[in-house]
A and B are shown apart, each in its own frame.
Chain A
């Protein structure tokens, strides 16, 4: 696990049935299997969410994820543990992460 100098900004979209506005946040931790997300929007455990972000010059659009755990942090923001659901997206993410780390 290596901490980068910058953070990854994330656009959050929700399935239509959730009827929720798009939101944003930043990734505290990112792995090929999931992520920890800090956001002002109130995420709930079990909720589905689509993540769009850019990593190492590569864009990831609507990465399917599910909230495994969510809690309020000390600042009042929501800290959510996400698990990526799509195996293809996970593999693509693993490749991008490897590239990023190889260059850093």
Chain B
């Protein structure tokens, strides 16, 4: 509540304004002239003046006088007639606020409140228009900030997951301990186990065993799927062509066609065998004797497996722990080598290799012979 001096020549104006101020919780000290208003303000310690302009009184003069007598007290002017230029003139004369007619409780409340908290204009020659935004704008800004933070966090999480996935090596332990080769029939993986003389059919998605073929008459060491046949190489150097049926029925046997065989591959025209002992790659004609057309000395420490990926021959080197892509015209040369960090710890020794159209797969046995063999699915980055 504030003590406010009301200066109006007409009684009706004083009464009306006093009533409005009373409704707003202020105490009005009405006066009919300047002397009365000054006297009243000195006695009652008024905090502001409300002066009526018109009706026999000139608020411009009154405002100047009051501002001179009470320089720290705000003066409000209530216009009896709306006139914007007059209002500006009154403000220049010292009125803090000017209330337009008709005088309402709301207008008067706002003007009195502003007058009691009066501040001058802040000026600057340099800045552009000041920015004032609504709470909605600030809400949006805060929301945008959190959205950006969330986005950054999501991107980081995606990157972290990607790195984790890249660092992860897909592998499965197998129910065999002595794998010698690996093949892919277009749908499933086949692990050749020389110890149990068997071919294990595994699901490509989870390495689950789907089937088993015992080859009781031979010791398989390598296998390759062609369009119309299955080729297997045996430990005694024989190559067997088989029917692509459930039993892998033998069709033709080629004794001593691939001595020391560790890998076998079919490129659609020629059969290729890898002699691990002699470190020699042989190219066979598909005739009655699988005639060797040419032999190539293999690079590396210990080539142990061979695969045709549809475009090139690849060998797996267990000594160097890498894959080599060979020049088909001069297979003794290679023009790409992909390291296999999965074998970096030396616990497993790779023995078989295949390509499923997307990734390389290898099978390996433990070097200490204690424990199951392991099937590795290599990362996409390792692909061609």
Contacts and interface: CB of A to CB of B under 8 A. Distances in A.
Interface of A: 1-12, 21-24, 26-36, 38, 40, 52-54, 68-69, 71, 75-77, 79, 81-84, 94-95, 97-98, 100-101
B109 interface: yes
A40 B120 CA distance: 17
Interface stretch (B29-37, B83-91, B200-208): B83-91
A79 B92 CA distance: 20
Contact of A29 (B88, B130, B134): B130
A101 B125 contact: yes
Nearest to B92: A9
A22 B100 CA distance: 12
Contact of A79 (B87, B118, B125, B132): B132
B120 A82 contact: no
The interface centre, meaning the residue of B119, B120, B128 with most chain A CB atoms within 10 A of its CB, is B120
Contact of B98 (A1, A6, A24, A84): A24
A29 B122 contact: yes
Counting chain A CB atoms within 10 Å of each CB, which of B92, B111, B121, B128 scores highest? B121
B283 to A, nearest CB: 82
Contacts of B131: 69, 81
23 contacts: A1-B123, A6-B120, A7-B119, A7-B120, A10-B88, A12-B84, A24-B84, A24-B91, A24-B98, A28-B121, A31-B128, A31-B130, A32-B124, A33-B128, A35-B130, A40-B110, A52-B88, A76-B110, A81-B132, A97-B123, A97-B125, A98-B125, A101-B124
A21 B101 CA distance: 13
- A-B pairs with lowest CB-CB distance, top 4: A34-B129, A33-B128, A9-B91, A22-B84
A66 to B, nearest CB: 10
Contacts of B156: none
A21 to B, nearest CB: 7
Given A31-B127, A94-B126, 5 more contacts: A23-B84, A34-B128, A54-B92, A71-B134, A76-B109
Contacts of A36: 130, 132
A84 B98 CA distance: 25
A100 B123 contact: yes
Contacts of B120: 3-7
Contacts, number: 128
Nearest to A24: B87
B82 interface: yes
- Classify the secondary structure of B's interface with A: mixed
Contacts of B121: 3-4, 6-8, 26-30
B134 A1 contact: no
Given A6-B121, A9-B92, A26-B91, A31 B114 contact: no
B129 A40 contact: no
Nearest to B134: A71
B106 interface: yes
A83 B124 contact: no
Nearest to B84: A22
Contacts of A5: 120
A33 B127 contact: yes
B42 interface: no
A11 B91 CA distance: 10
Interface in B114-158: 114, 118-134
A1 B110 contact: no
Nearest to B83: A22
